[in-house]
Amino acid sequence: MRRLPRVEVLVMAVVGGVVLIGVPTVTNQFYTFEFAKVAIFVCALLGLNLLTGYSGQISLGNGAFMAVGGYTTAILVHAAGVPYWLTIPLAAIVAGMAGVLIGIPALRLAGVYLALATFALALSIPPVLNHFDTFTHGHQGIVMPPVAAPFGLDLSSEQWLYYLCVGIAILLYAFAWGVVRSRTGRAFMAIRDSETAATASGISLAYYKTLAFGLSAAYAGVAGSLLAIATTYINPDSFGLGLSLSLLVGVVIGGLGMNFGAVVGALLVVWLPYFAEKAGQAGVHIGPLTFAGKPDIFFGAALILIMLFAPNGVAGLMLLGWRRYLSMRSATRMPVQDPIAGR
């Protein structure tokens, strides 16, 4: 086991912490709010990564679980007057149960078929939410009261939302980190790499696959709940196929099978549409085409190129660079390093 170079890690942790805490004090309300959204997407992507990246089951339907979480929060706050912070764990539980329910039939659907079923789930959720409008108020959506900072803290609403979302994202990140390094995480990866070998080693496919679905859905539920709280409004169209696809885009470009990929992916999924829109307003012309300010073409091309050249995404490339750096640094002290693992 290579000893961690303590200095770099410490420096990075301190810088990271200062940046995370400092962001809302130096940026304006809009940016603070967008960074809160990044934290929300980190939650959703961590969950999808546990399912797709670590246990190898594709899901195009995690947007649907976000809808479950979001509506749990919105309905509880709006109709039952439950305090919003209490609805976050409830949203995780409800969405997690929905995930387990979907996971049970998904057990028998491998690969392509699972993608089909979850694709259908993502497409059918918005019209179903519209249909049951006694609870969901259909197209009108549900408006929630904006949140204010508690305990008399001197924070604006956006700043409080930022700290809330970032705090929860860190918590969920730590949990995912723990899961991946536990027996459960090893079981997930064993299933991903070979179901036959995993079964032969005594891993219960049914248990772990359902668990992966439930966990992933609970993460998505938290993300949906936070999104509802942050935007103070939800309607069915916010949870369509587009959302599920952007989650997949985020997790793939960020890095499948790497928790840190969720952070990279979330930054990309939240900020790229914003910059694309800005570029579109400024009027980007390439040949006869005027770009209307949607990042879809880039996202699609990036999905293909990442799968071709860097299956572990941007986070994988960063890890590779980090290892290069380490081997360069220690080359003076240690004669030969292990070859860089491509995983």
Partner 1 sequence: MTAFLQQVISGIATGCIYASLALALVLIYRAMDLANFAQGEMATFSTFISYSLIEYWHIDFWPAFVITIVLSFALGIGIQRLVIRPFEGRPVLTLLIVTLGLFTMFNGITGQIWGYVFKTYRGGFPSEPVIFGGLYINVQDIGVLGVVLVMLLLLYLFFSRTKAGLAMRAASLYPDSSRLLGVRVGWMLALGWGLASAVGAVSGMLVAPIIFLDPNMMQSILLFAFAAAVLGGIESPLGAVVGGITIGVLMALVGTYIPGGQDLRLAFGLIVIVAVLLVRPAGLFGRAAVRRV
**CB 271, min distance to partner 1, A:** 17
Cβ proximity to partner 1: between 214 and 236 the closer is 236
User: Is residue 150 helix, strand or coil?
Assistant: coil
Cβ proximity to partner 1: between 4 and 292 the closer is 292
**CB 240, min distance to partner 1, A:** 9
**CB 28, min distance to partner 1, A:** 30
Cβ proximity to partner 1: between 119 and 271 the closer is 119
Cβ proximity to partner 1: between 117 and 147 the closer is 117
Among 63, 71, 70, smallest CA distance to 47 is for 63
Q: What values do phi and psi take at 118, rounded to 5?
A: -75, -30
**CB 317, min distance to partner 1, A:** 17
HSE at residue 4, side-chain half, CA atoms within 13 A, is 7
Cβ proximity to partner 1: between 83 and 105 the closer is 105
Task: Spell out the alpha helix ranges (H) of 132-258.
Answer: 133-136, 157-181, 183-193, 195-200, 205-231, 241-254
Q: Which two tokens stand for residue 141?
A: 């959506």
How far, in Å, CA of 102 to CA of 209, rounded?
11
Amino acid at 193: D
Cβ proximity to partner 1: between 14 and 116 the closer is 116
Residue 291 CB: number of other CB atoms within 10 A? Answer: 16
Cα 318–chain centre separation: 19
Cβ proximity to partner 1: between 8 and 193 the closer is 193
Residue 182 DSSP code: S
**CB 30, min distance to partner 1, A:** 25
Q: Which residues bind partner 1 (CB under 8 A)?
A: 52, 56, 58, 60, 105, 108-113, 115-117, 119-121, 123-124, 127-128, 130-131, 195-196, 199, 241, 245, 248-249, 252, 289, 291-292, 294-304, 307-308, 311
**CB 170, min distance to partner 1, A:** 28
Task: List, in order, residues 6 or more apart from 31 with CB less than 8 Å away.
Answer: 23
**CB 311, min distance to partner 1, A:** 7
What beta strand segments (E) does the chain contain? 142-143, 233-234, 284-286, 289-291
**CB 154, min distance to partner 1, A:** 43
Identify the sign of the CA torsion 129, 130, 134, 137.
Answer: positive
Cβ proximity to partner 1: between 10 and 301 the closer is 301
How far, in Å, CA of 11 to CA of 223, rounded?
30
